[in-house]
Amino acid sequence: MNVAQSSSVSPDEPLFTRLPEPSQAPVTVVTPMMALPPSLTPKQLLTHLSADAWEEFIYEWVMGLKEAGYVDVVSMGGSNDRGADVAAFLTAQKTDGVWDCFQCKHYERALSPAVTFPEILKIHSAVAEQQYKVLPRRYVFVAPKIGASLVQLLAKPSALRSQFFAWAEKNKDRIVVEYQGGMLERALGLARVSDFSRFEAGNLDTILEQHATTPYHVRRFGTQLPDRPASEPTPPEPAPNEARYVQQLLDVYHEKWGCSPASPAEAKVHPRAGRNLQNQREAFYRAEQLRMFARDSVPPGTFESLQTAVYKGVVEVEEDDFTSGWARLKAVLAAAREMQLGNNVLVQVVDSDDRKGICHQLANEDRLTWVQGADR
């Protein structure tokens, strides 16, 4: 991570561990003691992260690089990271195949060449000692601040190579203590035939722009969720994944109006059941759309947490005695519309149809039942 570690480690150790017009009215001036402090931008917040949190942020970013074609991304940081904090694999062979390496550095000062040279040596040593089978396709230094001298050097791979070997020669007496038993010679031998254009520095503005498209951005920076896409039309006929909650509704209509419990078509033509069925299906699809929105916009488990909150808020209503399944359905949906949903980030975009639809998702899993004792 932030302090260069010895590469003299056993290859048997495990590798992986989103101006008013002027007024004539009196103006109230807020004193500095009363004024709220200005909020920090995501870029400013990143400078205050710990080294571990910075690595987590980079892991989140790399996880979101869908266009890169990664089959897996792992965090490998630690005292024996062998020159790789976050590794992204392009094949199932992982570090035995094509892979990219992201080395995380979080310092108050801008990252300089002097900090990167030991890392370049470390990754060559790891491959020379077969701790990794091949060098990464890309080796990306990621830091909140990248010094101009390093940016310029990375833009000239031949100069980077030359300065790296000059550093190694100047510090040979010190680094040979870390790389004993011929390890230094083997690492430098590999470096002499290595393509130094693989080394680059991540651009923080680009990283933040790409991170904003991941499900982790809102939670990490407290930003607003993106706008939800417009609702798509509800399919005219129920799909197989609607079977159970639709059947529960048919049981309600059978009990209340005598509609066939086995025929959605009969319920559709009933003047009241048909309208209700359409409304409930639209709500179900609205909630399904929220589920998909959550998958792409917030961390895993956020939507499921919202479902659980709705369930806990309505289950005691569902358990009450009612004269009919219709009365129970109406009471539960009303409770869902009125309940407080806590501090789940999705509350920003949830509407009343989402709440109703979540109830039908729960009914689809038999966690809620409208006609008690119905066996269909």
Closest CA to 135 of 181, 106, 99: 99
Residue 362, pLDDT > 70, answer yes
Residue 9, pLDDT > 60, answer no
Count the neighbouring beta carbons within 10 Å of the beta carbon of residue 360.
Answer: 26
Closest CA to 304 of 264, 233, 358: 358
Region 211-238: mean pLDDT is: 90
Separation of alpha carbons 303 and 178, rounded Å: 49
Rounded percentage of the chain residues whose pLDDT exceeds 90: 79
Separation of alpha carbons 121 and 167, rounded Å: 10
In tens, the pLDDT along 143-176 reads 999 999 999 999 999 999 999 999 999 999 999 9
Closest CA to 191 of 128, 146, 143, 248: 128
What is the DSSP pairing of strand 99-104 with strand 72-75? unpaired
Separation of alpha carbons 216 and 60, rounded Å: 7
- Sign of the Cα torsion 321, 322, 326, 332 reads negative
Question: Using an 8 Å Cβ cutoff, are 233 and 352 in contact?
Answer: no
pLDDT of 81 reads 62
pLDDT of 241 reads 96
Rounded percentage of the chain residues whose pLDDT exceeds 70: 88
Rg (CA), the chain: 29
Residue whose token pair is 């694999």: 89
Residue 324, pLDDT > 60, answer yes
Separation of alpha carbons 214 and 329, rounded Å: 37
Separation of alpha carbons 102 and 86, rounded Å: 5
Separation of alpha carbons 239 and 246, rounded Å: 10
pLDDT of 26 reads 39
| Neighbour order of strands in the sheet with 138-142 | 72-75, 86-89, 99-104, 138-142, 199-201
pLDDT confidence bin for 10, thresholds 50/70/90: very low
Separation of alpha carbons 75 and 53, rounded Å: 12
Residue whose token pair is 């400013």: 44
Question: Using an 8 Å Cβ cutoff, are 72 and 93 in contact?
Answer: no
Residue whose token pair is 């495990």: 14
∠ CA 144-145-147, rounded to 5°: 155
pLDDT, mean over the chain: 89
DSSP code at position 139: E
Please state which of the ranges 27-31, 101-105, 201-205, 270-274 shows the lowest mean pLDDT.
27-31
Could you tell me the residue ranges of all domains in the chain?
Answer: 42-221, 240-364
In tens, the pLDDT along 42-78 reads 999 999 999 999 999 999 999 989 788 999 999 987 6
CATH of domain 42-221: 3.40.91
pLDDT of 23 reads 38
Phi first, then psi: give them for residue 233, nearest 5 degrees: -60, 145
Residue 11, pLDDT > 50, answer no
Region 194-206: mean pLDDT is: 97
Q: Which helix (H) or strand (E) holds 131?
A: none
In tens, the pLDDT along 26-47 reads 333 333 343 444 578 999 999 9
pLDDT of 24 reads 38
pLDDT confidence bin for 278, thresholds 50/70/90: very high
Q: Where are the alpha helices (DSSP H) in 179-242?
A: 183-192, 204-211, 217-221
Separation of alpha carbons 362 and 214, rounded Å: 27
